[in-house]
Every structure is written in structure tokens, then in C-alpha cells.
A = this chain, B = another copy of it.
């Protein structure tokens, strides 16, 4: 049995090494979206293998897949004890735009108490917490329950190989709970745990007007301009209250009770801080809901990219043949991403004027997830957080999607608990991504104490 005194002491003794090891991992540019980093992706997987073995894990394996390998490791001490399956990912988002980084994205530095590097928070830092918590437990009497690790390398590009992998390894991956650290908490003074994740429908649209680029002087005003039409169509997807106008879009949205809304609004939140962090004068979102609710419990629609016509220096008076946009919708229970994708596609085709042709290509989707706060694992996590951070975590509802959580539920029949140690200010997916040194180190303690508590209380 590992105690808070032991985790504190071990952390004290190994702090610098824990940081050094994470820095080594962050120096590997394991960008999954770009094939030129393939060698680094493999290097990151090998790095983990070495560290798992050094920490005393068994069955450590860099599992080949059609894409990037999945690192598996476990320590089974007694089949009659509960089993925790840890999921994480070692791949990272591309670092561009490079010019906006204040330090090298793959040369980690500590600045204002935070580790600045691509992947520091998403997800190398958070994932490596589990590797070091495992070591901590092993060095302090051994793990108190069975532990399995499954660390993938394609999370940032859709986790395709993972799906095949878990379908082929349901027996090997048997567990009682999945633990994932890939989300954020409200603040270090206000630890929190995400209890819901949004789903996703991501599409690309192409509008074709005339069969060739035209001179905007000769044809402008007489022929539909696909950019103007696209803008009109996109603008019409939300009404003046910022409600999404796709027919049927809200049909399956589960409205929270007033009680639930009240509870989620207990989370500390300062609109002024939120605005000043983003340097905006005002927020904008669905009428009737506040910012926390818009982020957590309401479905949303965003254009993630748009392009068409002349985008170089200076002026070109072209009326282009085509215009494009990438559009995504974040979904909430019980919206089904396949249904929403179909509804969107049909609606977008319906609203197109006869003057253009429309092509809607679905990219990918994710099912929204809610996890229960009434479970052994959730309570064990609450206890662990309280011991390390001094407060029980607030349950929050997250705007992000982790598509594999729904997949785990579907294929492995397992719930996930989301012990996120990041902060919204970590700027994941953006330049100057960072992760608090305190978050990293306290995370290690929290995870070790979670395993201890879960081993003690979980009904097997």
C-alpha cells in the first residue's frame, strides 16, 4: 500500500529525473500528421518501451499496426484483483506555424513554471505521468492492482489503427476501468474531472460556380460567385440566436435539468479572465446559455478552414470557379454523429442555389460521451485528487472530443475516467503549448494514489 507520504518523498527524490525523462521524450518530434516524421514516431514508441521495461512492466511490446505502432505493457499481480487499463498517446500535432513559437517547439524549456514544447500537455506530459506513477508504485511496494498500458501513435490523425487493435485484442485488454489523462482541469486551485465529452461531425464542402475562373469585371454580378454563395450558406447555418438551423439538429439533444445546470455552474469561472486571456472584447454563442454551458453542454458549429479565389499578395480580380470550407459540429448526448452528418449534408445541398453545384464530403466523426460520477473508479479518483490537491475535483463537461472513449465503450464495454491534469491556458494544438511543472509532478502522485484507492475499494 502506497501512502501520500511515500509519493511525496519519492517525488522529492526523483523530481529532476522525472522532468529530464519527459524532456527527452518531448525532444522527439513525433508528429503523426506528416510522414516525414515517421522515424521520430517510431523513436518515441521505442523510448516508451525502454522506460516501461526499466520501471518493471511486463509483456512490453511495440505492436505493429497498419499505421503507427501501439505500445503495450502490463503488470498483472493477481487476476482476482481489479485491473486498470491506461490509455494515452505519444504522437503530437504539427508544430506549425513555427514562426509563432517563442522557443523551439521540440526543444523544451521551463518558462513561468511551465514546460513549453509541442506535446507537453497533449499528450506526452499527461501520458508520461502514468509511466512515472507506475514506477513510483513499483518502487514503493509494487502496484496495488493489475495495470495495463496502451499508448498509441495516431490520436492526432484519427486513431485508425487503434480501432483494429482493440477489436483484435479484446481479451488481452480486459480491465475494469480505463484511465485517460488527455483533458484539462479548471485551475490548480480548482481541480476538476471531465465527466462528458462532445461528439464530432467533420465535413468538407466544395462549391462550384462557373466551369473556370472568370474575370470579375466581365462576369461579376451576373454569375454566382462561389465564395459569396459559400459565405451566404455558412452564415445561414446559424440564426440570430446562434442556433444551428440544420433541420432536426437538436432533436436528440438531451437538455440538462435546472439542477444539473446549477451544479455545473458552481465551477469557478471568470468571464473577464476568459476574455482577457483571449484578448477579445466580447464572447459570442447560443442565446440562453452562458460560456461554460456553451462549451460543455451545447452542440456547436465552427468553420475550421475556408479558401477560394486569389489569396496571394496584392489584388487579382478573379471570380473563382470554386470555393471550399471545412466545417465541424461538436455534438452532445444523444446526438448521433452519423445522423448529424447526413442531416447536414442534406441541408447543405438543399440550401444551395441553382446557380452553383455542391459537394459535401464527410471527414470523420465521434460519439458524445457522458460518464457516471457514481462509480468506484470515479470516487477513487476524487479521493486521490483530494489528497494531492487539497480539494475534491469538480465534475465538468468538456467541449473537446476523444472519439476513442466511445469506441472503448462499444468494443471493450469499458467506461473511461478522465483524469486530466492540463489547463485551458496550455494552448494545446497551438504555438507555445505548455504544461505546468506542478501539474506534471502532482499528476504522478495523483495517479499512484488513484490506483491504491481503486485497488482498495473496487468491487471485483
Number of copies: 2
By size class, the interface of chain A is: 35 or more
Contacts of A308 in B (CB 8 A): 303, 305-307
A141 close to chain B: CB less than 8 A:
no
Minimum distance in angstroms from A396 CB to a CB of chain B: 11
Q: Do B216 and A330 have beta carbons less than 8 Å apart?
A: yes
Q: Do B306 and A218 have beta carbons less than 8 Å apart?
A: no
Q: Do B221 and A298 have beta carbons less than 8 Å apart?
A: yes
Chain B residue nearest to A96 (CB atoms) is B312
Minimum distance in angstroms from A309 CB to a CB of chain B: 4
Indicate whether A235 sits within 8 Å of B232 (C-beta atoms), given known contacts A309-B303, A311-B305, A428-B215: yes
Q: Do A353 and B315 have beta carbons less than 8 Å apart?
A: no
Residues 278-303 of A contacting B (Cβ, < 8 Å): 278-286, 291, 294-295, 298-303
Minimum distance in angstroms from A200 CB to a CB of chain B: 7
Contacts of A330 in B (CB 8 A): 216-217, 220-221
Distance between Cα atoms of A299 and B222 in the complex (Å): 11
Residues 192-229 of A contacting B (Cβ, < 8 Å): 198, 200, 202, 204, 209-225, 227-229
Contacts of A387 in B (CB 8 A): none
Contacts of A324 in B (CB 8 A): 311
Q: Do B311 and A306 have beta carbons less than 8 Å apart?
A: yes
Contact pattern, A 142-182, Cβ under 8 Å of B = 1, otherwise 0: 00000000000000011000000000000000000000000
Minimum distance in angstroms from A296 CB to a CB of chain B: 9
Minimum distance in angstroms from A422 CB to a CB of chain B: 10
Indicate whether A427 sits within 8 Å of B355 (C-beta atoms), given known contacts A223-B283, A304-B318: no
Chain B residue nearest to A324 (CB atoms) is B311
A424 close to chain B: CB less than 8 A:
yes
Distance between Cα atoms of A301 and B231 in the complex (Å): 13
Minimum distance in angstroms from A155 CB to a CB of chain B: 12
Minimum distance in angstroms from A315 CB to a CB of chain B: 5
Q: Do B316 and A223 have beta carbons less than 8 Å apart?
A: no
A98 close to chain B: CB less than 8 A:
no
Contacts of A294 in B (CB 8 A): 221-222
Contacts of A300 in B (CB 8 A): 220-222
Distance between Cα atoms of A284 and B222 in the complex (Å): 6
A317 close to chain B: CB less than 8 A:
yes
A431 close to chain B: CB less than 8 A:
yes
Minimum distance in angstroms from A237 CB to a CB of chain B: 8
Distance between Cα atoms of A215 and B427 in the complex (Å): 8
Contacts of A424 in B (CB 8 A): 218
A259 close to chain B: CB less than 8 A:
no
Known: A221-B294, A221-B301, A223-B283; 12 extra A-B contacts, CB below 8 A, are A33-B314, A202-B315, A204-B315, A215-B400, A217-B330, A218-B424, A282-B354, A282-B355, A305-B311, A306-B307, A306-B311, A315-B363
Q: Which 7 A-B pairs have the closest CB atoms?
A: A221-B300, A217-B400, A305-B309, A235-B235, A282-B354, A211-B279, A224-B284
A-B contact pairs, 24 of them (CB 8 A): A184-B218, A204-B315, A212-B278, A214-B429, A215-B429, A215-B430, A217-B398, A220-B300, A221-B399, A222-B285, A222-B399, A225-B303, A227-B303, A228-B234, A230-B231, A232-B235, A234-B235, A303-B309, A304-B309, A305-B318, A311-B324, A311-B326, A315-B326, A317-B328
